[in-house]
Chain A
Amino acid sequence: MIVVLAIDALEYDLVKKFHCRNLMQKFYGKTDISEFSEPRTMVLWSSFMTGMNIEHEILSLGDNGMWNARVENKRTFFSNFVNPAVFDLPGYNYETLHHEEERKLLKKFFDAKHDSEKESVRQSYNRLAFDHHKKIKNNFTKALKESHDLVLGYFSIADVIGHLNFGNAFLMKMIYRDLDEIAGGIDSPFLVLSDHGMKPIGFFGDHSSYGFWSSGEYDLGEPKITDFKKIILDLFHEQRAV
């Protein structure tokens, strides 16, 4: 079984700061996403699964349309697997209604005029994100015990919560701890990959211009996000050969 922890906005500096040993594994580093015009979630994950930079194709769907993007299975490396389990991956089987609700609340927060209203929206937004996180975590953990040849869990919590709460370092630390515990519960070889990191903008968080990777077996240097299709397939073939 190949396992991929796909974590949105997992920030290299915070993984180090919070000593997330399971997320770091033996080898870890930053990914190079400089070929993309901006660190956009849908663009980056779509490019990851196809092994190609498809920024132009995704952006052509427009600001609203790109959130509904669905890359065909045959174009992704998932088609090389017999029984893959992929959860909530942007551009593939992203739970669009849920994430749309998050984006609506985010807009409502910034549109709100009064602090009390902002705080109320923030709480609803956080609750929605945490509930979704727990659901994905359960599904992912369950899948690890089943007979899949690939398990890929996409966790959006660090990104969603980070956008509104990046200045709450304790909250971010607890989220990173939880993600680290998820990594610690994986028995098979696994890769950790983020699309981009996160940098502070006042109390809020915005996407940073590099991602994070880690591996228990190989030093990957400073890979591009599109390199991971080959990396994962090589690992898979290696595993099958053994």
Chain B
Amino acid sequence: MDDNALKLVIVGHVDHGKSTLIGRLLFDTGSLPEDKIIEIRQICSSLGKEFEFGFILDNLEEERDQGITIDTTQIFFNSNIRKYVIIDAPGHVEFVKNMITGASQAEAATVIIDAEEGVKEQTKRHAYILSMLGIQNILVLINKMDRVGYDQNRFNEVKKSFIDFLNDIKLNAIHFIPISANQGDNVVKKSENISWYHGPTFLEALDSIPAKQTFRDNPLRFSVQDVYNFSTRIIAGKVISGVLHQNDDILILPSGERTHIRSLEEYMKNPTEAETGKCIGVTTTDKVFCDRGYIFTDPHNAPKVTHTFCANIFWMDKKSCKKDQPVIFRCSTQESRGTIINFHTVINSSSLELIGENSDEIHNREVARVTIQTDIPVIVEEYSKTAELGRFVLVTDDISAGGIITEVFP
């Protein structure tokens, strides 16, 4: 996947026009080869059918199944200012698993609602899982406006009913856009049929989403892997956020000691900085106590040291897990025994149905919002802030769950 592309997920009720929207988006942004469109038009004509934009996605799906297209769970398109990739959508267990375990993260989500049918149960379930996944940039498209005569009152009705629901689950949408994916109104091109709407088109709204920060803007986090006592004492680890420089003033957690980086050590090299992802040895100006699992951080922007935090987890073990059952928590190089002290909500990852609230246990392929308590203090952060300290696994006999941290308690 292109790391610079903005990752977008499109969700909504099965008949509300997701395929048509994707086809229209690919077509209007010129992201498809001309011969592909000709082929689809020819087949439609042979069968006496009108061309539909949804057929474009059908075509890509069949090519994926035959191994012609590598993967249509990732569909790329470009605007004039950046690249986008549409990633797989809720309703697919793998998508929920990947999102919850932090294997892939959508940066923006689009909820599509049929103007005629309005908000359906499936629309609500999808919105609910978006709230669990912590996606901040949410666009709502009220589709099939052509079927309701581009009626502003109907648009406002649907918008209001969905805002009421979003308020209940504490989710905000940044735009509500009236569109017709079939006719091309307000998807890429401004609609002349919806003159009462003065906001952005769907593509303009996507382009207005701020680009993600580069690693250089992120606060320093260095995860200690081991300590070697040679002629000098070298602390080996990995920069998991920001950039580590020679002479940096650092805070060591959980001990709370302060010191400076005297040197960065790499075989046959004399580096003065190490970027995110780099494994490297360091020496410090003071003799500090340090062990595997310790974190060096920017003293002015440090994570919390805690026993308790909220997280979303995906349970992938055939054996279920009960409340207060011992588990091993692993995050970066840290490890602690702990327990899940509350299953706030448990959801079926396939149907996205709510299975229970304040439940006693979680089963295979279920997703839950939980509170976890560790036996020893751990250094963790919200996943949206520092991925490596916000992503973890839970181990029973083997790895049983992956999760992302949503809230850290002091």
Q: Which of B39, B46, B62 has the most CB of A within 10 A?
A: B46
B47 touches A178 (CB 8 A): yes
Q: Does A171 contact B (CB under 8 A)?
A: yes
Q: Does A169 contact B (CB under 8 A)?
A: yes
Q: Does B80 contact A (CB under 8 A)?
A: no
The B-contacting residues of A in range 165-179, CB under 8 angstroms, are 167, 169-171, 173-175, 178
Q: How far is the CA of A130 from the CA of B47 in the complex (A)?
A: 6
Tell me whether A178 and B49 are in contact in the complex, defined as CB-CB below 8 angstroms, given that A169-B65, A169-B66, A171-B43 are known contacts: yes
Q: Does A40 contact B (CB under 8 A)?
A: no
Q: Which of A130, A169, A170, A173 makes the CB contact (< 8 A) with B46?
A: A130
Q: Which of A169, A170, A175 has the most CB of B within 10 A?
A: A170
Return chain A residues, CB-CB under 8 Å to B47: 130, 133-134, 174-175, 178
Residue on A nearest B39 in the bound complex, by CB: A170
Q: How far is the CA of A133 from the CA of B48 in the complex (A)?
A: 10
Return chain A residues, CB-CB under 8 Å to B66: 167, 169
A169 touches B49 (CB 8 A): no
Residue on B nearest A126 in the bound complex, by CB: B46
Q: Does B63 contact A (CB under 8 A)?
A: yes
Q: How far is the CA of A54 from the CA of B58 in the complex (A)?
A: 41
The B-contacting residues of A in range 150-206, CB under 8 angstroms, are 167, 169-171, 173-175, 178
The A-contacting residues of B in range 51-69, CB under 8 angstroms, are 55, 58-59, 62-63, 65-66
A169 touches B62 (CB 8 A): yes
Q: How far is the CA of A58 from the CA of B48 in the complex (A)?
A: 35
Q: How far is the CA of A114 from the CA of B49 in the complex (A)?
A: 32
B43 touches A174 (CB 8 A): yes
Q: Does A16 contact B (CB under 8 A)?
A: no
Q: How far is the CA of A54 from the CA of B168 in the complex (A)?
A: 68
Interface extent on A, as a size class?
10 to 19
Tally of contact residues, B, Cβ under 8 A: 15
Return chain B residues, CB-CB under 8 Å to A167: 66
A170 touches B48 (CB 8 A): no
Q: How far is the CA of A130 from the CA of B45 in the complex (A)?
A: 10
Q: Which of A134, A170, A175 makes the CB contact (< 8 A) with B59?
A: A170
B44 touches A170 (CB 8 A): no
Q: How far is the CA of A170 from the CA of B63 in the complex (A)?
A: 8
Return chain B residues, CB-CB under 8 Å to A171: 43
Residue on B nearest A17 in the bound complex, by CB: B65
Q: How far is the CA of A174 from the CA of B66 in the complex (A)?
A: 16
B49 touches A173 (CB 8 A): no
Q: Write the nearest CB–CB distance from A232 to chain B, whole angstroms.
A: 29
Q: Write the nearest CB–CB distance from A191 to chain B, whole angstroms.
A: 23
Return chain B residues, CB-CB under 8 Å to A173: 58, 62
Q: Which of B48, B63, B66 has the most CB of A within 10 A?
A: B48
Q: Does A127 contact B (CB under 8 A)?
A: yes
Return chain B residues, CB-CB under 8 Å to A175: 47
Return chain B residues, CB-CB under 8 Å to A133: 47
Q: Write the nearest CB–CB distance from B57 to chain A, whole angstroms.
A: 11
Proximity bits, A115-142, B CB within 8 Å = 1, else 0:
0000000000011001001100100000
Return chain A residues, CB-CB under 8 Å to B46: 126-127, 130
Q: How far is the CA of A133 from the CA of B43 in the complex (A)?
A: 13
Q: How far is the CA of A183 from the CA of B39 in the complex (A)?
A: 26
B62 touches A170 (CB 8 A): yes
Return chain A residues, CB-CB under 8 Å to B43: 170-171, 174
Q: Using a CB–CB distance below 8 Å, which chain B residues touch chain A?
A: 39-40, 43-44, 46-49, 55, 58-59, 62-63, 65-66
15 contacts between A and B (CB under 8 A): A130-B46, A133-B47, A134-B47, A134-B48, A169-B62, A169-B66, A170-B39, A170-B40, A170-B58, A170-B62, A174-B43, A174-B44, A174-B47, A174-B55, A174-B58
Q: Which 5 A-B pairs have the closest CB atoms?
A: A169-B62, A130-B46, A170-B62, A170-B59, A178-B47
- Beyond the given pairs A134-B48, A169-B66, A175-B47, 9 more chain A to chain B contacts, judged by CB atoms under 8 angstroms and listed by A's residue number, are A133-B47, A134-B47, A169-B65, A170-B63, A171-B43, A173-B58, A174-B44, A174-B49, A178-B49
